[in-house]
A and B are shown apart, each in its own frame.
Chain A
Amino acid sequence: MKMSICALPVIAGLAIAPLGLGGYELSVLMTILFYVILTLGLDLVTGYCGQFSFATGAFYGIGAYTAAIMSRDLGTSIWWHLPAGALVAGSFGLLLGIPALRLTGHFLAIVTIAFQTIMYLAISQWTSFTGGQVGLHVESAGKLAVFGTTLFELGSLRSYYWLTLGVTTVCVLAAWRLVNSRLGKEWVAIRDDETLASAIGLNTTRGKLTAFVAYAALAGIAGVLTAHSLRGVTPDDFTIWISATVVAMMMLGGRGTFIGPIIGAVVLAIVPEFLGRYAEYKMLIYGTILVIGMTLVPEGVIGRLRRSASR
């Protein structure tokens, strides 16, 4: 409950932000929101359930390509793409969750990297379906209509920002509800000791699979939002480096905490904007953060703060 009281002013501030900000600042804010969704999703599966995944970029891409291909072949609007993206990415998440039932730690990490690579190869080489290296153009998001009455068009940057903010809020709330539900507690139990969790009668199969599906579905939603925001998708937007970025955001903030990954996503998504012409050093910085962070503060900044506060 305390959390929601703190969150309200933040959401309200973000909601009135477009009135005072220009196009550039709004795009940066939107990028931050995409990364917040991605990082929270990864935190569910890695932070709470303890299953490593380096395939965030793949699920992100699956969501984005779902939107692009539906928009090309069916001419649908974003209202269809959001649930479809979550559904398709979630199904692939279920698929990736199946090896996770038998594999742990490094074996699982290898399989997720393999999945990420297969997905990239598939997207970039199946030219007739995905447009290959050139990618696909995506139509504008459509409009917000109630019973045929158009409330407002989502073509403009400002209205699209509000849509993104709304969807992100829903995602964050859903993740918050999930980690505080019985299911979320089961995830933590699996992370802390899987043998013990199954010994006390928890269904670890269900626990792991649901964590993977929730993670993949959130990444898929972020992908749909991104596809309509960029008005196009290319394979290189969804490489393993996206996965690395999201892992860095989560680790920096603190895996297994709720607010930590959000803060990590905000900080690391803003950093490149201040690098200016040094923006090409972005991934070098993220990689270094992973190495140094893992060595010095493996529990992340928020995790470390909590630990020292509880002493």
Chain B
Amino acid sequence: MDLFLQYLVNGAVTGSTYVLVAVGLTLIFGILGVVNFAHGEFYMIGGYAGIFAVTAMNLPLLPAIVFVLAVAACVGLAAEAILHRPMKDRDATSSIVSSFGLAVALQNAALIVMGPQPQRLNLDASKMPLLSELPTEFGPVFLPHQRMLIPLTMVALIGALYAVLRYTWTGRSLRAMAQHSTVARLCGVRVDRVAMVTFATGAALAGIAGMLMSSVFLVYPIVGNMIALKAFTVVILGGMGNVIGAAVAGLLLGVIESLTSAYVSNSTRDIVGFVIVIGVLLFLPNGLFGKSVGRS
């Protein structure tokens, strides 16, 4: 039972990164209709940017997080200019090939620049403000500060995002675009700006996930492949375009994976998500929480 709680917590930590990556992905799909296969590369770039900020620039934790947010948001803006702007009037499948190409190009650029060997972000837990005051043991559960940081950041960022979407004009225009882009445009929503905000937000969230995760696991050029697939799993489980659904499904996938690797076998851990997603797509094409909306 004690171990079970530990597995649950470990799963929630991994799940939090899935949430951060998947929410951006689901926003980009829900609002712009772009299937971004290069989303895992935002995560990878976030990881490397975090290592650069902490090791080369010697930034403390909070400025480093801000730096990573900024770098990833800029990458997101560039991706928008490549993947979305030229494709606006084409059918949805165009972005599949071009974002897939962008993913391959970015991975190989990283392979050439950073080399294939995995790298770790050394976050010194004792230097973290506030966080270092917290205990690392909760009854039977052991949770180091680096790991604790991940769900905390996730809750803070997703909460902020939810508030922005709910209560600000920018958020309203984003949601309007998601509901009906033509009507939104007629009502004066600035579509270009919405597209840029969406991509920048999505990339920034994924970048932070990459940075935080690389202090626990390692970052390497093709790390984004698996992360993007996991995020797609989450997005499909939660219903394409559904932010809350993605948050719930992300935590769920993290926990399921953690339990699978604990009680079944470590090698089936990565496969279980895909089996679930293929099953869900076959039997519940709108996801677990998706409303059934006719697609044409």
A→B interface (CB under 8 Å): 52, 54, 99, 102-103, 105-107, 109-111, 113-115, 117-118, 121-122, 125, 240-241, 244, 247-248, 251, 280-281, 283-284, 286-291, 293-295, 298
Contacts and interface: CB of A to CB of B under 8 A. Distances in A.
B104 A244 contact: yes
B97 interface: yes
B109 A284 contact: yes
Place the interface of chain B in its size category: 35 or more
B250 to A, nearest CB: 16
B271 A121 contact: yes
B97 A294 contact: yes
A107 B100 contact: no
B291 interface: no
Nearest to B285: A102
A122 B267 CA distance: 9
Contacts, number: 119
A295 B278 contact: no
Interface stretch (B161-169, B189-197, B224-232): B224-232
Q: Is the interface of A mostly helix, strand, loop or mixed?
A: helix
A295 B87 contact: yes
B261 interface: no
Contact of A109 (B35, B86, B105, B274): B35
Contacts of B37: 109, 113
Given A52-B93, A290-B100, A114 B274 contact: yes
Given A114-B229, A286-B104, A99 B97 contact: no
B281 A111 contact: yes
A113 B281 CA distance: 14
B119 interface: no
Nearest to B295: A104
B87 to A, nearest CB: 7
Contacts of A284: 104-105, 108-109, 112
Interface string B268-296: 00110011011001100100000000000
B98 A291 contact: yes
Contact of B267 (A115, A125, A251, A287): A125
A117 B98 contact: no
Contact of A290 (B86, B90, B104, B111): B104
